[in-house]
Amino acid sequence: MKLVKNENDKNKENISDKEAQEAFVKILKWIGEDPSREGLLETPKRVMKAFKEYFKGYHEDPKVVLDKTFGDVEGYSDMVVQKNISVQSHCEHHMAPIIGIAHVAYIPNQRVVGLSKIARVVEVFSKRLQTQERLTVQIANTLMESLDAKGVAVTIDSTHQCMTMRGIKKEQATTVTNFYLGQFKDDLSFQNRYLRFIAK
């Protein structure tokens, strides 16, 4: 995966791994723990490494993922639907996990992309602090633009732990977002077919 530099990186403070670990030591103290006890000695380092994994999407470019497409599809022009793509993200308001699934469809314009690349685009945007609404739109816009698709549809169904583990604590609540572009937005027959596919 190609690492990309955000245009705003030059304005960001360069925080070292050591500084990040020290920050987690302070958080452990703040919650009332003793960072020097045996079970927590390696915790700041482990959390720092985990955060690198949780938020690796900031260092990946979803458009690069979609660079390679294939034209040898015997004229296939109907929608391509990929269902049940796992979503593991974090909300930007409480940094609590967002866990769910995404369904993605696109209508190719002569060329298609490898199926794993669709899931990879979902992964890149998920591994950032997010709102579900923005995540849904980002995935759709990137696929539409990068593939020059005739249409794109994205649905995300997820549980927000900022709502199930704190605050209102509604454990069974789920959130569904949909976003349509191109033929999926303009032609309800495409939208309805897509919704039937993902309901199966």
Q: Which residues are catalytic?
A: 91-94, 132, 160, 162
- Write the single-letter amino acid at 194: Y
189 three-class SS: helix
| Torsion sign over Cα 36, 41, 45, 46 | negative
Q: How far, in Å, CA of 22 to CA of 164, rounded?
A: 30
Q: How far, in Å, CA of 53 to CA of 174, rounded?
A: 25
Nearest to 89 by CA among 131, 117, 58, 49: 131
